[in-house]
Structure 1
Amino acid sequence: MSNKQNTQNTQNAQNAQQNIINTPKISINKSAANSRIIGKISDFLVFIGKRAASAILVLTLIAVVLFLIFFMLPANPAQLACGKPCTPERLARVSAFMGTDAPWYEQLGSYIRGIFFGRKFTNSAGATIVCAGPCLGWSFTLNEPVTNLIMSRFVVTASLATGAAVLWLTVGVATGVISAAKEGSFIDRALRALSSVGISSPAYLIGMLAILAFAVYLPIFPTGGYISFAESPLDWLQHLLLPWLVLVLLNAAYYTRLTRAHMLDELQQDYMRTALAKGMPRSKAITRHAMPNAMLPVLTMFGLDLGGLLGGAVITERVFSMQGLGSLLLDSVKNLDLQVLVGVTLFAAALVIVANLVVDVCYRFVDPRAAVC
């Protein structure tokens, strides 16, 4: 009995000693894992901070260039905003309101500060008008802050651009992958022919033919216009489906060609032959190995295209009578409203910069090699 008790005590002591030995290892492993997670988060935040600082710097430089191009021209912006008849007294009041009576460097400083911190204007009656930041100027044609005009029109353009972009990316990538997987087949030749038609077709022609076919002869869709989502979700969708289809036909063709080209390149790589030699089904090898690598250039192109389209789909908005940023830009050119013209151009540039930033972030998740950059 005593021997059994001694044996049991010895076993308990050994277990306790083993637990003591293992406990630090577990805590050390957890500590190392936590340190790695914190390090990755820290690196990611540093990456975002650097990209954001670079984006702000680029946007500031673009604002300076736009100011110098549009406001340092021989034509006087105040003269353009003065209207007719423009008396010397009225021109002086408009110049004071716009700030063009100050030296150019003061005008530039006021413009840049207004973008980040807001700006104040004094009208002819001596009243102060506050333009909250980001202030992109004042429309003397519409008598409203440019920022308000852009935001009200941006809802229309964003609805048009985001829906169409998701559709054309899905269709373009799917058809590109199918075309590459069935290289040389009838399906491949048919998809390549259709993409050639889409690439070579003008946007205004496709838009007009779509309206003629599906809004006039077959009155399935409205001829144009825009209904807000809050007002009627069904009407919102009905008014956007036809413009979406037009943009999908035009843009999916590029993505079909781009995806097919990069997929064919990836299908010839050694890792694909290795995966197939190990018995992996071809469809699984394509989706698991080839597609992620082929999507990297497609992702870059998609970010740039979406950013540009958010800046204003000029032709599509005109064809379908949608009052978005593209229409606002054309109206500012027609009315010589330089404040709106510069504001919309700067806003479009900012969208492209943001799209590039999002693409850079996505790259770090899609391609692990980008995380070391």
Structure 2
Amino acid sequence: MLRFLLRRTLGAIVIVLLISAITFFLFFALPSEPAQLACGKNCGPDALALINENLGLDDPVPVQYWHYLVGIFAGRDFDIGHCSAPCLGYSFRNSQPVWETILDRYPTTLSLAFGGAVVFLVIGVSIGMIAAARRGTLTDKFFSSLSLIGNSLQIYFVGTIALWLLVDSWGLIPRPEYFPFTDDPLRWAGGMLLPWLVLSIIFIANYSRMTRSQMIEQLNEDHVRTARAKGMSGRTVFFRYAWRGAMAPIVTIVGIDMGSLFGGAMVTEFTFTLHGLGRLAVESVAEKDLPMLMGVMLFSCTAIVVANIIVDALYAVIDPRVRLA
């Protein structure tokens, strides 16, 4: 297990470095001048040259990238002050520290992604298990049809309709708004309930179909038939043998879907006007704010890669047939 974690950690570092390098160099390939963005429209040549010097933008791009990497681990000195490690620079738009801005926005995205994942896993896996247990019946056909409909829906469409019906017209759900969990857990859950449901719709459809197919496959395995032949109850066979074997592929897809979950969170944040990392990333792209964009990219990629490592390590816990060496 230790060798596996070390190997995956080294691979994760390489992946994050490659993504950061590609993002950094592609930014400078755009037909725009970062110093002009930081200075504003009414900016003279002298002020522009001073900003280039203070931000290190007059250095070659590879040198700037090296200074950026060094700043993450050792900090950097800018004209506006010292940036302590992990230093991700200052925003071109408002001169705010990137790291502090990310820490301020991240709880919203974490709440949205975590709550949405819990909702679509609980509902999606449950529907898939019911459909597999009642294979070929009207219940199975109903849930299969429902999953196809859910898979064809889009977050921005469902979110707008749900906001109009459930909040504005009927008043069944509180208006979506982020509140810190530590301040009021009930208010936090109430403000995120509708975004959770909307974000999880497409994932529920995918995971219900996947769980159904995996459960049916496991129920036809030799060890499951042997358990039945030994006289074990149907409930024991279903949950102890079939369900546990079916969960390993589901856990794998959860790790792969971390990127899709972040993309869905981005659209959901715009739909419900939530100020999280997804919204911050889109704003940074629109305003060509390299430090903020780089910070969001590095933070998100690291979180996704770490989640994938944890998911892979859970294999040995869920399925004893898996050996990590």
SS at match of 1:239: helix
1:46 equivalent in structure 2 = 3
Q: CA deviation at 1:139?
A: 0.3
Pick from 176, 179, 204 the counterpart of residue 131 of structure 2: 179
Residue by residue over 1:153-180, the C-alpha shift from the partner in whole angstroms, topping out at 9 and shown as x without a partner, is 0011111111121121111111111111
Describe how 1:185-334 pairs up with structure 2 within 5 A.
Answer: 185-306=137-258, 308-310=260-262, 313-334=265-286
> Contact between 1:308 and 1:348, CA under 8 Å: does it hold in 2?
no
Q: CA deviation at 1:312?
A: 7.1
Q: CA deviation at 1:73?
A: 3.8
Pick from 19, 22, 25 the counterpart of residue 68 of structure 1: 25
Whole-angstrom distance in 2 between the partners of 1:311 and 1:346: 15
1:102 equivalent in structure 2 = 59
SS at match of 1:166: helix
> Contact between 1:139 and 1:145, CA under 8 Å: does it hold in 2?
yes
Whole-angstrom distance in 2 between the partners of 1:60 and 1:153: 23
1:12 equivalent in structure 2 = none
Q: CA deviation at 1:308?
A: 4.6
Moved over 4 A (4+): none
1:85 equivalent in structure 2 = 42
> Contact between 2:37 and 2:93, CA under 8 Å: does it hold in 1?
no
Residue by residue over 1:242-261, the C-alpha shift from the partner in whole angstroms, topping out at 9 and shown as x without a partner, is 11121232211110011111
> Contact between 1:195 and 1:254, CA under 8 Å: does it hold in 2?
yes
Whole-angstrom distance in 2 between the partners of 1:66 and 1:248: 29
> Contact between 1:312 and 1:325, CA under 8 Å: does it hold in 2?
no
Q: How much identity, in percent, do the aligned residues show?
A: 42
> Contact between 1:304 and 1:355, CA under 8 Å: does it hold in 2?
no
| 2:130 corresponds to 1:130 | no
Question: Structure 2 vs 1, CA of residues 272 and 368 (structure 1 numbering), >3 Å: closer, same or farther?
Answer: closer
Q: CA deviation at 1:137?
A: 2.3
**In structure 2, what residue type is equivalent to 1:81?**
A
**In structure 1, what residue type is equivalent to 2:68?**
Y
> Contact between 2:155 and 2:264, CA under 8 Å: does it hold in 1?
no
Structure scoring higher RCO (CA < 8 A, sep ≥ 6) equals 2
Whole-angstrom distance in 2 between the partners of 1:56 and 1:132: 21
Whole-angstrom distance in 1 between the partners of 2:210 and 2:37: 45
Question: Structure 2 vs 1, CA of residues 371 and 120 (structure 1 numbering), >3 Å: closer, same or farther?
Answer: farther
> Contact between 1:115 and 1:134, CA under 8 Å: does it hold in 2?
yes
Whole-angstrom distance in 2 between the partners of 1:369 and 1:114: 44
SS at match of 1:370: coil
1:22 equivalent in structure 2 = none
**In structure 2, what residue type is equivalent to 1:272?**
V
Pick from 288, 291, 294 the counterpart of residue 336 of structure 1: 288
> Contact between 1:311 and 1:325, CA under 8 Å: does it hold in 2?
no
2:120 equivalent in structure 1 = 168
Q: Which has the larger radius of gyration?
A: 1
Structure 1 stretch displaced more, 54-63 or 176-185: 54-63
Q: CA deviation at 1:266?
A: 1.4
**In structure 2, what residue type is equivalent to 1:50?**
R
Q: CA deviation at 1:326?
A: 1.1
1:113 equivalent in structure 2 = 70
Describe how 1:17-56 pairs up with structure 2 within 5 A.
Answer: 44-56=1-13
Q: CA deviation at 1:367?
A: 2.5
TM-score of the pair, normalised by structure 1: 0.82
> Contact between 1:158 and 1:310, CA under 8 Å: does it hold in 2?
no
